[in-house]
Amino acid sequence: MDSNKKEPPRIKETVEVTQGIVNIFRDLSIFSAVALLILVPKFFNQKLSEAGFVEGQVGGFKWQKQLEKTDTKLIEAAKTGNVLAKKLEQANNTIELLKSKYDLQDARLETQIKQNEVAIGRAKELNPGIQSTLKENAPLLSSKIKDGNDSLLKLVNDYSIQIFFNENISGQKKEAFEIKEGLVRLGVKSPIDVRVRPKQLDKASSNQIRYYDANERDVAYALQEILAKTDPGMRFNLQTVYTPSPGSVSIFLKS
């Protein structure tokens, strides 16, 4: 046997690890049930608030505490889906590299890649609904959010803003500066920095406002509302991140 010949790594172990992860996402009905349990309490709590009830007025039911609990579950679900989707994408990249390096022809690998892709898609499909609900919960949970443009501007003006664009997409730099001009026109006085999106950062699947949930949700909500006024035809989705960026919030154009 040639001692210089490289032996392929343990593909079986690699596949088994990814199979363990993909099983979490395999059953779409589980995703639907979890979403239903989380989203319905939010709707119920919102209607109570709109009707003018305060905590404890409805038969002593602590509805605000329940909203806080379901809101926390939403954040955890978003984080879990994001982390697992990234791990599955990394697993697929690893399998592809091993296939190429060792010229592997194994139907199990193709099957695993496809299963991972389905699971990634399901995780990403759930995320917009979670972010939308977190946005709707924001006024109920934050005392800083009040009606009126002045209230929204006050929140945003306490933060610096970065607008990231993809330099390889024609016209996107111009679009980024137009967004900056629109914010300034509406009264935003924050430092606004237009930047090229660093290659190491995740691509944005949509126009996004990225925020750290622990202390930036209220400003992200306010910024989203103001952006809607700069150009009603352009939609910006909220997207939680898990690394704090004190005193700043970011806008990512779709890349």
| Per-residue pLDDT at 59 exceeds 50 | no
| Per-residue pLDDT at 52 exceeds 70 | no
* Average pLDDT for 201-221: 91
* Identity of the highest mean pLDDT range in 2-6, 76-80, 187-191: 187-191
pLDDT, the chain, mean: 80
Categorize the per-residue pLDDT at 63 as very low, low, confident or very high, splitting at 50, 70 and 90: low
**Residue 189 has what DSSP assignment?**
-
* Identity of the highest mean pLDDT range in 8-12, 67-71, 242-246: 242-246
Q: What is the 3-state secondary structure (H, E, C) of 154-171?
A: HHHCCCEEEEEECCCCCC
Which residues belong to CATH 3.30.70 in the chain? 149-252
Mean pLDDT check: name the lowest of 37-46, 94-103, 229-238.
37-46
CATH architecture for residues 149-252: 2-Layer Sandwich (3.30)
| Per-residue pLDDT at 115 exceeds 50 | yes
Residue 51 is predicted with a pLDDT of 52
Which residues belong to CATH 1.20.58 in the chain? 11-141
Categorize the per-residue pLDDT at 106 as very low, low, confident or very high, splitting at 50, 70 and 90: confident
H or E element: which one contains 248? strand 248-252
Residue 158 has a CB neighbour count (10 Å cut-off) of 14
Closest CA to 25 of 98, 137, 127: 127
Single-letter amino acid code for the residue at 54: V
| Per-residue pLDDT at 4 exceeds 80 | no
* Residue predicted with more confidence, 71 or 64: 71
- Four-residue CA torsion sign, 26, 32, 33, 35: positive
| Per-residue pLDDT at 58 exceeds 50 | no
| Per-residue pLDDT at 217 exceeds 90 | yes
* Average pLDDT for 134-157: 89
User: Which residues sit opposite 196 in a β-bridge?
Assistant: 165
Token pair recorded at residue 112? 């695993």
Q: What is the pLDDT of residues 188-210, one digit of tens each?
A: 999 999 999 988 778 898 999 99
Q: Pinpoint the alpha helices (H) of 10-106.
A: 11-25, 28-50, 63-102
Residue 150 has a CB neighbour count (10 Å cut-off) of 9
Burial 193-213 (b: 16+ CB within 10 A, else e): ebeebeeeeeebeebbbbbbb
Residue 46 is predicted with a pLDDT of 57
Closest CA to 118 of 205, 31, 33: 31
Topology of the domain covering 11-141: Methane Monooxygenase Hydroxylase; Chain G, domain 1 (1.20.58)
The CA distances from residue 127 to 110, 202, 218, in Å, are 26, 15, 19
Burial 12-37 (b: 16+ CB within 10 A, else e): eebbeebbebbebbeeeeebeeebee
Closest CA to 161 of 180, 138, 135: 180
